[in-house]
Chains A and B, each alone.
Chain A
């Protein structure tokens, strides 16, 4: 069982918006930066969001991140079929002194 909790799956139609939640505690999400990763089958994860809400230069602004208290959220607008992938949140846990990931969320674009 993952330290960070994500919904197993989310779905939405092309062009719509979807959000993926990542719930943790004060020892991880609440007091450390959250990052988000996109992973296609058979490929390495790719960084989408870092420092809670910053995007690497190559990531389109359709992807956004936010954090409130012990929960973080990834938002994707203007959904495309090419966005179908698994999405993971990650952060540091100050009590465990360990990196932690969410269990992952499979996005389906209907």
Chain B
């Protein structure tokens, strides 16, 4: 059974960089049938797609976040990571990592999510 687990600081100061890692177990992150993605959900609001990465390192980012986001992948550790720079209170959210099907685009497996609060 595939499992994803987010990890990283739960509190980030304004203007600093948010960094999260998603550890994947029960399957290989190098599987060519899938992308790996980040999705976030501000408190009380809907889902927002942040970006996807393929095992090769190719990426797609949400246009409104593109200037601040970097998603990277470490196939040797079966992990992928999210960096979001210059954060503000608007970036406070539950951040989920998930596996996305290459062809159909659905997110079949999700991590449990981790709350990141931006506050001084």
| Contacting pair B60 A47 (CB below 8 A) | no
| Contacting pair A90 B106 (CB below 8 A) | yes
If over half of B's interface residues share one DSSP class (helix, strand or loop), that class is named, otherwise mixed; here it is strand
| Contacting pair B49 A100 (CB below 8 A) | yes
A97 to B49, CA, bound (A): 12
| Contacting pair B101 A101 (CB below 8 A) | no
Which residues of chain A in 94-110 are interfacial with respect to chain B, using CB atoms and an 8 Å cutoff?
A: 96-104
| Contacting pair B60 A44 (CB below 8 A) | no
B47 at the interface (CB under 8 A from A): yes
| Contacting pair A33 B105 (CB below 8 A) | yes
Residues of A within 8 A of B100 (CB): 99
| Contacting pair A98 B60 (CB below 8 A) | yes
A37 to B100, CA, bound (A): 13
Residues of A within 8 A of B110 (CB): 44-46
Give the contacting residue for A35; candidates B37, B39, B107; CB below 8 A: B107
A91 at the interface (CB under 8 A from B): yes
A97 to B51, CA, bound (A): 10
A71 at the interface (CB under 8 A from B): no
| Contacting pair A99 B52 (CB below 8 A) | yes
Residues of B within 8 A of A104 (CB): 46-47
B111 at the interface (CB under 8 A from A): yes
In the complex, residue of chain A having the shortest beta-carbon distance to the beta carbon of B62: A98
A104 to B46, CA, bound (A): 6
| Contacting pair B49 A98 (CB below 8 A) | yes
| Contacting pair A99 B106 (CB below 8 A) | no
A2 to B45, CA, bound (A): 11
**Can you name 14 extra interface pairs (CB under 8 A) apart from A33-B105, A90-B105?**
A33-B104, A35-B105, A44-B113, A45-B110, A51-B106, A90-B47, A90-B49, A90-B106, A90-B107, A98-B49, A98-B60, A99-B37, A101-B47, A104-B46
Q: List 28 A-B contacts (CB under 8 A).
A: A2-B46, A32-B105, A33-B105, A35-B104, A35-B105, A44-B113, A45-B47, A45-B96, A45-B107, A45-B110, A46-B110, A47-B106, A47-B107, A50-B101, A50-B104, A88-B46, A88-B47, A90-B106, A90-B107, A98-B49, A98-B60, A98-B61, A99-B60, A101-B39, A101-B48, A102-B46, A104-B46, A104-B47
